[in-house]
Amino acid sequence: MQEQENQPSIPPWVWILGLVTVAIGAQMWLTGSFDGPEKIPMDEVAALIEAGEVKSITVRKDKIEVVLPDGTIYGSTKHSDDSLTETWEYYGISTEQLASIDYSVPDQAAMNTMISIAITILPILLLIWIFSRGFRQMQGGSGGIFGFGKSRAKNLNDGDRPTVTFADVAGVDEAKQDLVEVVQFLKEPEKFVQVGARIPKGVLMIGPPGTGKTLLARAIAGEAGVPFFHISGSEFVEMFVGVGASRVRDLFNKAKQNAPSIVFVDEIDAVGRQRGAGMGGGNDEREQTLNQILVEMDGFDNETNIIVMAATNRADVLDPALLRPGRFDRKVFVDLPDVKGRESILKVHGRGKPIDEAVSFRDMARLTAGFSGADLENLINEAAIFAARRDQKTIGMLEFQDAFDRVALGPERKSKVMSENDKLTIAYHEAGHAVVSFHLPNTDPVQKITIVPRGQAGGYVMPLPEDRMVVSREFFEDKITMTLGGRAAEEIFFGRITTGASSDLQQATRMARAMIMEYGMSDVLGLPTYSSGGSNPFLGRQMAYLGNQRNYSEEAARIIDSEVKKILESGYEKALEIIRENPDKLMSLAKTLLDMETLDRTVFEDLMTDVPTDSSLAMA
Ligand code: ADP
Ligand code: MG
Ligand code: ZN
C-alpha cells in the first residue's frame, strides 16, 4: 500500500487531457469530420473506375476512398439512400470492372461498436479514476479504492510497540492507580485466568482533551510490553456503510493474533453516540461500526487476552449499550492536573532540556491553573523556541512568561485558563459545599475536594457514597442543603452571587421536585405521586420531553411549586447558618484549596477538626 505513494505519478490533468483528446478524436473520426483527401463527386469516381484508373476502393459506410495507381487518394460520398451495389449499377459499372479493383469493405459494424463502447466507457473510467484519487487522498494515502476495508491501525500486522511508560505520564495518579491492574493482567494473564478472575475487557477513559488519555493507553502497552492497536472513532464517520465495521473486524483479528494486546479506540463518542438521539435520523455507518465493536467485545471469552481501551471527552453522550457490564464497564477519569500534577508534568517534559536555574516549575505550575498536560508540553516547547530565537543556551523565566502568554491566549487551547479571581470564588464556593456537608448528620463523607475544573463545573466536592437501599427524607434535605452550600458561601464572603452556582440550583430543584412528586415526601401533597414516570433524577439522564406531559391539575402544580420553594429555602437557610457558625474553618479550607487545588478526605477532615497537617504547614 505504501509503495504506491512513491511512484512518480503523472499529474491528473495530463491524464484528463489525454483521455478527452482521444474521445473527441474518435468521435470526429466516426462522424467523418476530418478533412481527409480531396473530395470528388460520385460520378467522377464512376468515370475513373470505368476508365480502369483505380487501384483500390475502401468503403466505410457511405464514405468511399479511392486510390489511384500513382498513389493519389480521393474521397467521395455515396448517396446514402441507395445501397452501393445500386449505385454502381446506376453508373453502369459491371461486377467484372469492380473485381479488377482492390475492393474492400472493412467490418464497419464491429469497428463502430468498439468505438462507441470506448466513447461510452472512457468518461466512466475517467470518473472512477478521479473518485479513486479523491478517496485515496481522503484516506491519507492508505491503499486507495481497494484498501477500504483494511484497518488503519498503525502497523497492521503486529501493532505498534510503544516505549512510553507510566513514568512519562504525570499528574494523573488516580487514573494510573486504576490502570495498574490492567498492566498486571496484560503482563501475566495466566495468573488471573487460573483463579477464574473476571478480566476487565473494556476501559473507558473520560477526560478533557490533552489530559493524557492516549498517552496513558500507550503507556499501559509500554509497561506491559504488548502491542498497541489504535483506531479513532472520527475516522469512521465519513466512510461508506459497512467499511467501518469491516475495519473494526480486521483490527480485532490482528489484535487477537497478537494477544495479549491493547486495542485503543480514540474519540469513541464519534461512533458511540446515543442511537436515535439527535436530529435527522441515524448514521448507519456509525451504528454499524459501533455494533461491530460491541459484537467483537461480546465475543471475547476468558481466554481472550485483549483489553479494549477507549477515550472520550463526552461521556454524557455515549450510548448506554457501550457502558453495560462486560463492555466498557470500567471508567477511569482523567482530569485536568492540579498544581502538583502540573509541576510534575512540567518536570517530565523539561527532562533533558537546558532550563535555566532561575526557572521555578513550582511557580509555573501555580500560574497555569486550568492547563492540560498537552498545554504544559506546548508551554515548554514554545519557551524553547523563544530561547532559540534569542540565541540563548538555556531557557529562562522570560521565555516561559512569553510562552505562557502565547499558549494561554493561543487558538488551540480548548480549556480556559483560570484567573486568580475565578480561583478565589471557586475555592470559597467548593469550601462552602464541603463545610456544610461536614456539619450535616445525613450526608456522605467528603472524599475529595478540588478546584480543578471538570466539564462545566469549576470544581467539585466528591462524596464517598454509602450503599443505601432506601433514602430517607432527611438525607434528601441534607443533600439539598449541601448542594446550596456553595452559593451560600459566595453570598456570605463576597456578598454577590455568580453563575457558578447555577447547576447546583438545578440539581437542588430536581431533588426537591423528586421528593415531592415521586416519593410523597410533602406534608401538604401527601402520598400521590405526580411524576410522569420513568426518569430517576439521580440515576437517569434527563428526559426533558417527558416532563411536558402533566398528569395533574393546575392547582396541584401550584402547590408543587410552592412546596419545592419551601424545601429549597429552608435548605438554603440551613446552609447559611452552618457557614455563619464556621467562617474560620471555611476560610482556612478555601486557602488550602487555593494552594493545593485538590484535597483528599484526611486532609479535609484534619482541617475541620483543627489537627495540623503537612499540607496546612506547607501553606505558608
Ligand atoms: P488526550 O488523548 O487526553 O487528548 P494526549 O495523550 O494525546 O491527550 O496528550 C497529548 C500530549 O500532551 C502527550 O503526548 C503528552 O506529551 C502531553 N501530555 C498530556 N497529558 C500528560 C500527562 N499527564 N503527563 C505528561 N504529558 C502529558
Ligand atoms: Mg487523544
Ligand atoms: Zn457548587
Q: What CATH number corresponds to the domain at position 398?
A: 1.10.8.60
608 lines ligand 1 (CB under 6 A): no
Residue 170 has pLDDT above 80, yes or no: yes
For the Cβ of 162 lying below 6 angstroms from any atom of ligand 1, the answer is no
Look up cell 473494556; give the residue.
Answer: 202
**Average pLDDT for 190-204:** 83
Greater pLDDT, 533 or 4: 533
Q: Which ligand is nearest to the CA of 498?
A: 3
Indicate whether 97 and 164 sit together in one domain.
no
Report d(CA 104, CA 110) in Å as an integer. 15
Write down which residue in 382, 408, 434 finishes a domain.
408
Q: Is the pLDDT of residue 114 over 80?
A: no
223 catalytic, yes or no? no
- What is the spatial distance between Cα 509 and Cα 537, in angstroms, rounded to a whole number? 10
Q: How far apart are the C-alpha atoms of 568 and 560, rounded to whole Å?
A: 12
So what's the pLDDT on residue 70?
A: 84
> Whose CA is closest to 334, among 218, 166, 206?
206
Whether 88 has a pLDDT exceeding 80, the answer reads no
Express as a percent the part of the chain with pLDDT over 90: 30
Q: Given pLDDT bands bounded at 50, 70 and 90, which one contains residue 412?
A: low
Which of ligand 1's atoms lies nearest the C-alpha of 348?
A: 25
- The Å distance, Cα 438 to ligand 1 centre, comes to 36
Shared domain for 277 and 324, answered yes or no, is: yes
Residue of 377, 378, 379, 413 to mutate, ligand 1, most atoms within 8 A of C-beta? 377
Name the residue at shortest CA distance from atom 17 of ligand 1: 374
Q: Is the CB of 172 under 6 A from ligand 1?
A: yes
Residue 287 neighbours by CB distance under 10 Å = 19
Query: Domain check: are 323 and 372 in the same one?
Result: no
pLDDT of residue 479: 93
Q: Which domain-ending residue is among 333, 353, 386?
A: 333
Q: Tell whether 595 and 477 lie within a shared domain.
A: yes
Residue 133: the pLDDT is 65
| CATH number for the domain that contains residue 559 | 1.20.58.760
| pLDDT for the residue 279 | 43
Atom of ligand 1 nearest to the CA of 209: 4
DSSP state of 468: -
- Is residue 495 in some structural domain? yes
Q: Indicate whether 145 belongs to any domain.
A: no
Index of the ligand 1 atom closest to the CA of residue 172: 23
In terms of domains, do 368 and 453 share one? no
- Pick the ligand that lies closest to the CA of residue 266: 2
Question: CA–CA separation, 36 vs 34, rounded Å?
Answer: 5
The verdict on 431 and 574 lying in the same domain is yes
Q: How far apart are CA 567 and CA 580, in angstroms?
A: 20
The answer to the question of residue 7 being in a domain is no
SS3 string, 49-60, reads HHCCCCCEEEEE
Same domain (yes/no): 308, 351: no
Nearest-10 crossing angle of helices 339-350, 373-389: 50
Which is the catalytic residue, given 267, 287, 296, 430? 430
Domain of residue 80: give its range.
35-106
Q: Are 499 and 437 within one domain? A: yes
The Å distance, Cα 577 to ligand 2 centre, comes to: 46
pLDDT digits (tens, 9 = 90+) for 512-549: 988 888 777 777 766 666 655 444 444 444 444 444 45
CB-ligand 1 contact for 171 (6 Å cutoff): yes
CA atoms of 182 and 221, how far apart (whole Å)? 10
In angstroms, the CA 207 to CA 213 distance is 7
**Residue 614 is assigned to a structural domain of this protein:** no
What is the distance in A from the centroid of ligand 1 to the CA of 441? 41
**Distance (Å, rounded) from C-alpha 615 to C-alpha 403?**
30
Q: Please identify, by atom number, the ligand 1 atom nearest to the C-alpha of residue 208.
A: 3
In the DSSP assignment, the letter for residue 597 is: S
Are the C-beta atoms of 487 and 428 separated by less than 8 Å?
no
- Ligand at shortest distance from the CA of 450: 3
What spacing in Å lies between the alpha carbon of 212 and ligand 2's midpoint?
Answer: 7
CA of 430 to the centre of ligand 1 (A): 27
Decide: 341 in ligand 1 pocket, CB within 6 A: no
Residue 13 pLDDT > 70, yes or no?
Answer: no
Residue 217 in contact with ligand 1 by CB distance below 6 A: no
Contact 482, 433 (CB under 8 A): yes
Same-domain status, 498 and 568: yes
Task: Identify the pLDDT of residue 213.
Answer: 95
356 and 313 fall within a common domain: no
C-alpha cell at 136: 485515496
- Considering the domain boundaries, does residue 114 fall inside one? no
Q: Is 204 helix (H, G, I), strand (E, B) or coil?
A: strand
Burial pattern 518-542, b for ≥16 Cβ within 10 A else e, equals bbebbeebeeeebbbeebebeeeee
Ligand 1 atom nearest 218 alpha carbon: 6
Total Cβ atoms within 10 A of residue 461: 25
How much of the chain is helix, strand and coil, in % rounded to 5? 55, 10, 35
Distance (Å, whole) CA 12 – CA 46? 51
As a whole number, the mean pLDDT across the chain is 80
- Residue 210: CB within 6 Å of ligand 1? yes
For residue 216, the ligand closest to its alpha carbon is: 1
Instruction: For residue 397, tell me if it sits in a domain.
Output: yes
pLDDT value, residue 543: 43
d(CA 131, CA 119): 19
Question: Which among 333, 368, 393 is the end of a domain?
Answer: 333
The number of domains in the chain is 4
Domain with residue 93: its CATH number is 3.30.720.210
At 539-590, the pLDDT tens digits run 444 444 444 456 677 888 888 889 999 999 999 999 999 999 999 999 999 9
Strand order in the sheet with 73-77: 38-39, 73-77, 63-67, 56-60, 102-104
Same domain? For 324 and 205 the reply is yes
Q: What pTM was estimated for this model as a whole?
A: 0.63
Flag whether pLDDT at 151 surpasses 80.
no
Taking only the tens place, the pLDDT of each residue in 415-444 is 567 788 888 999 999 999 999 999 999 888
| 377 Cβ below 6 A of ligand 1 | yes
Ligand 1 pocket residue status of 348, Cβ below 6 Å: yes
Q: Which of 74-78, 96-100, 199-203 has the lowest mean pLDDT?
A: 96-100
Domain co-membership, 90 together with 159 = no
CA distance 407 to 413: 7
Q: Is 451 within a domain?
A: yes
